[in-house]
Structure 1
Amino acid sequence: MLKNYNIAIYPGTFEFFHDGHKSIINKAMKLFEIIYIVVSNNENKNSSHIEIRYNNIINSNFVKNNKNIKVIKNEGLTIDILNMLNCYYIIRGVRSIEDFKYEMSLYDSYKQISVDFEIIYFLSDESMRKISSSSILRSNKNEN
């Protein structure tokens, strides 16, 4: 079956859907007709319930105002979603050397499962590099 090269997935936990995520999506929209934001769980993170994160994104003005963005939930493997959508590309954002090292490891893990995909990495704009869901979570805890 031929893969669709006009769509891509952007997987993540998206604990907080922030301007850094939106910036990466805006960059990717110049390459793809449709981008699926794939809201996933990560056993290494203490994330809120997937339904809450999914609803926060799907109800955001950013998504509501763009018909080329779709939002789906994923409680399995990213590669399974990629195959289900018959998609070839995964979008990832990189803010730092540490992110890049993590992404290399993730890429290698994915390639052990399937070779029929590619990841496209977008560098975060300098003004967005300090933004992360983890930092927002820490900031919110400190305010309470």
Structure 2
Amino acid sequence: MTTRIGVYPGTFDPITLGHMDIIRRGAKLVDRLVIGVTTNPSKSPMFSVEERMAMVVRETADLAGRIEVVSFDSLLMDFAERQGASMIVRGLRAVADFEYEYQMAGMNQQLNGRIETVFLMADVSLQPIASRLVKEIAVYGGDIRKFVSPEVKADVVKRVAETGRKGS
């Protein structure tokens, strides 16, 4: 029997409840879900790749054995091929996400037609959550507990305290 491997890529800076929803649901679709923590040149990360990987491992501890957390800094399709993946799992929050993801899926299919992209709609209650917005709210002193786990909230609050915050 062939093992079905999926890859869920992202920066996870920080990992949100929305990410966790997609991870839990994506893990049901495959035998092994590889969570690919990547750099993104267009984003300014709050946490290093190592810190983000540690957060993802901690937050997904109850799924140990079903998931693996791996960092990568390459084309997604090259990473997926190295992992032996047959699918890429992507979360969608809104129409704007779909337009971007649709274009990316088309490009990825051109690069490697053997790997399918599967889209999961975010739970309605989690649709507005974006790591970028969580960081912005935290920097201005807002409460992020509705968007991240208590442990991730503590990580973000600590980092904001270390780097300074803009609000008064």
Q: TM-score, normalised by structure 1?
A: 0.90
Using the alignment, how far apart are the partners of 1:73 and 1:125 within structure 2? 26
Aligned to 1:14: 12
Query: In the superposition, relative to structure 1, how do residues 5 and 105 fare at CA in structure 2: closer, same or farther (>3 Å)?
Result: farther
Bigger shift: residues 91-100 or 80-89: 80-89
1:45 to 37, 43, 50: 43
Q: CA deviation at 1:46?
A: 0.9
Q: How far has the Cα of 1:110 moved from its partner?
A: 1.3
TM-score (norm 2): 0.78
Of all paired residues, the percent bearing the same amino acid is 26
Q: 1:83 aligns with which of 81, 84, 104?
A: 81
Between Structure 1 and Structure 2, how many residues are aligned? Answer: 139
- DSSP 3-state at the match of 1:14: coil
How large is the Cα RMSD of the aligned pairs?
A: 1.3
Q: Structure 1 stretch 62-71 or stretch 36-45: which is displaced more?
A: 62-71
**Contact 2:37–2:53 (CA<8 Å) still a contact in 1?**
yes
Partner of 2:160: none
Q: Matched residue of 1:87: which SS? A: coil
Residues 1:64 and 2:50 aligned together: no
Q: Which moved more, 1:134-143 or 1:22-31?
A: 22-31
Q: Distance in 1 between matches of 2:110 and 2:119?
A: 19
Runs of 4+ aligned structure 1 residues displaced above 4 Å come to: none
Tell which deviates more after alignment, 48-57 or 9-18: 48-57
Aligned partner of 2:151 in structure 1 is none
Q: Which has the higher contact order (CA 8 A, sep 6+)?
A: 1
- The residue that corresponds to 1:94 in the other structure is 92
Q: Which runs of 5+ in 2 are unaligned?
A: 142-164
Partner of 1:121: 119
Q: Quote the residue 1:54 is aligned against.
A: 53
Matched residue type, 1:68: R
TM-fit CA distance, 1:26: 1.5
- Pair member with larger Rg: 2
How much has 1:5 moved relative to structure 2?
5.6
What is the letter of the counterpart of residue 54 of structure 1?
M
